[in-house]
Structure 1
Amino acid sequence: MSEAMFGLVGKDFVILAADQQAAFSIIRIKNDADKIWQIEDKLFACTGPPADTSNFCEYLDKNIKLHTLRTGLSLSTKACANYTRNELAAALRKGPYNVDLLVAGCDASGPALYFLDLYASSEKVNKGAHGYGAMFTLGLMDRYWKPDLTEAEAIDIIRMCIKELETRFIIDLGNYKCKIVDKNGVREIKLKA
């Protein structure tokens, strides 16, 4: 998949970025897709075929909200990642979703980022990426990430990753959408100066 999705954990936030193109085979269907879903106060960045990502994220959205309505309790980031992993594992045995995800949130235990793939593996990470873009961005994030990363530094790293993709990747992925989740909730930021 010629997609790029990446994220970083900062001092008290998580930042995610994803390209905005939706494609089928070699055809670009649209270039304004939002691949970072907000479910309650968590972010789910999802890559894969547009039908699978849409169906799976809508399914997650409805079931996580149903849990909150039934219990009156909101799921933690870890609980959301575990629920998502269980759903991917169950689907793997009957009708798998071809999706890879980054699940981000900031709750009582602090900021957290989880890396999940279509085979239902899950891992808590400080930086993660999916798609072909991961080949170009993981090295930059390894080089510049640090535990006390500020928001401005994280945005600079995201811009470096996008610049690297624009320079080295053979396919033009177009525009990118970038969202941040922290204790105050979710917000979208503009990357163009």
Structure 2
Amino acid sequence: MAECSFGLIGKGYVILASDSTAARSIVKMKENEDKIKALGPNLIMATGGEPGDTIQFAEYVERNLRLYHIRHNHTLRPSSAAAWIRRTLADSLRSRNPYSVNLILGGYDHTTSTPNLYWIDYLGTMVDIPFAAHGYGAYFALSTLDRFHDPEATLEEGLETLKKCIREVEKRLIVSLGKFKVKIIDRNGMREIEL
């Protein structure tokens, strides 16, 4: 299953991008799938993996973070949400029905006024990093991100770096991933943009 998700941090923002193709084996079923889930006003998550697992896990995370907000009257900070998600994946790995989900979590922490980006895989491994990629596109995009990513980049410069990654994946990957959905999160909240 060819999938691709990217994330990067810039000066005061996080960008997440994910392909919008839903496919199984050699069959393309949908071209407008939104694989980036808003988990709150300042937290988003791009998922990849088995289709049923990704949808169920994303909804499970969203509902539990909303329940935490209702119970405690404030949302979790991105670092706390990432730790809880990592623990949930690690616990599911030790159950009879583990989730097969890789994800990139992006958020804006209003207490420290900083953007956060976390790479989490299906084994419960979590890393706080300035840029991330999952899926087959990661084989081509990580070198591009390593060369062109600047943590102090403006939003326009960050989008240009993202476009370079997408062009590289379109050029090198044998499978066409179609369009990419792009969402930005900063101190003003989350918004979706067209490339």
TM-score range (shorter-chain normalised) is over 0.9
Distance 2:131 2:175 in 1: 23
Aligned equivalent of 1:176, options 175, 180, 184 = 180
Matching of residue 144 in structure 1 with residue 148 in structure 2? yes
Count of paired positions: 191
Counterparts of residues 27-42 of structure 1 (less than 5 Å):
27-41=27-41, 42=43
Give the counterpart letter for 1:120 in structure 2. G
> 2 CA distance for matches of 1:118 and 1:46?
10
Instruction: Tell me the equivalent position of 1:45.
Output: 46
Aligned-residue offset at 1:73:
1.5
Matched, 1:11 2:49: no
User: In the alignment, residue 15 of structure 1 is paired with which amino acid?
Assistant: I
Q: Deviations over 1:95-147 (max 9, x none)?
A: 11110010000112210000000000001000000000000100111101122
* Contact persistence 1:24–1:49 (CA under 8 A): no
- 1:63-113 residue CA offsets vs partner (Å, 9 max, x unmatched): 000000001121000011001001101100111111001000011221000
* TM-score, with structure 2 as normaliser: 0.96
SS at the partner of 1:102?
strand
Quote the offset at 1:24 in angstroms. Answer: 1.4
SS in 1 for 2:108: strand
TM-score by length of 1: 0.97
Deviation at residue 28 of structure 1 after TM alignment: 1.1
TM-aligned CA deviation for residue 60 of structure 1: 0.3
Query: Residues 155-189 of structure 1, C-alpha deviation per residue, up to 9 Å, x if partnerless?
Result: 00111111111111100000100000000000001
The amino acid across from 2:34 in the alignment is D
Q: Percent identity?
A: 41
Alignment of 1:33-182 (within 5 A): 33-41=33-41, 42-94=43-95, 95-107=97-109, 108-109=111-112, 110-182=114-186
List, as ranges, runs of 4+ consecutive aligned residues in structure 1 with deviation greater than 6 Å. Answer: none
Q: Determine if contact 1:10/1:147 at 8 Å carries over to the other structure.
A: yes
Q: What CA distance in whole angstroms lies between the structure 2 residues aligned with 1:144 and 1:150? A: 13
Unaligned runs of 5+ in 1: none
